[in-house]
Structure 1
């Protein structure tokens, strides 16, 4: 959990294995990422599990929750990387992965994050992609950790499924 000197970012950008792997690679090893967990957010089902989320009936997205040190990496930098590492123009899809669980979303923690996420999303839409984005910017709500076998999946299974974000 975040302390007074850390912050939390919660992002959904498709298959959570690849999202976790890329964020750890980019911001790990002293670059600001202190911890990252894959899980489920944004839905209407309590205590969801992977099988239920994959049906698309829970409303949850596969997401990554990052604890980071804002003195080493800014929330803005995390969001800019988020927009570079996946396709935010496709609704409920990343490559061959299709369904609401693969949607693009920024789950914000507080008004400051929400305003910054909306501002960056607007800028990225107009200046980078020059089209509307499907990314949702919404308050984080309840977080549910994914099952343990999903945590650090690509670290434990280097030849595992390479998500489209990669």
Structure 2
């Protein structure tokens, strides 16, 4: 089993999307790479954490490259501190790794997306995970608990094969 942390805007939809993919073993939403080791939904803007999903996955079923292909499918990689209708630094995009060997794979994906857009610089952070604070219980599996809840992502895209 491997793991990766992805910031992609509001974590409700990101979790709803990734939990549909074969090979994803576990999802957990929280706050990552802020300036403190404590935060919560009310404080996240002050502690500069990003809403982030922690993915545990089986690399024999889905690779990190595959996960990142899905990731870039659901974000606007050029948007600074905004995804969908959500604005603020807590909605920034980022790939936060715990395994150093994941960094070059993620960098290659970032470079590839940039190249497809005439070398334009992406607003996606690539950093080692500094900290991760698990979000409150009501945020976990939010769209299962609230099937008509807000989501900026087309969850049906998870069923569409990658090209």
- Structure 1 length-normalised TM: 0.89
Q: Which of 6, 13, 38 is 1:11 aligned to?
A: 6
- What is the distance in 1 between the residues matched to 2:111 and 2:30? 26
Out of 136, 140, 157, the position equivalent to 2:129 is 140
2:62 & 2:93 partners in 1: Cα distance?
22
DSSP 3-state at the match of 1:72: coil
Is 1:80–2:69 an aligned residue pair? yes
Following the alignment from structure 1 to structure 2, what is the Cα–Cα distance between the partners of residues 165 and 140? 24
Please list, as runs of the form range in 1=range in 2, the aligned pairs for 1:38-117 lying within 5 A after superposition.
38-53=29-44, 56-117=45-106
Deviation of residue 119 (structure 1)? 1.1
**1:165 pairs with 2:153:** yes
Paired residue for 1:34, among 25, 31, 36? 25
Aligned partners of 1:57 and 1:143: how far apart in 2? Answer: 15
Any stretches of 5+ residues in structure 1 without a counterpart? 1-5
Deviation beyond 2 Å, 4+ runs, structure 1: none
| Between 8-17 and 87-96, the greater mean CA deviation after superposition | 87-96
Number of aligned residues: 153
TM-score by length of 2: 0.90
Aligned counterpart, 2:142 = 153
CA contact (8 A) 1:14 1:165 kept: no
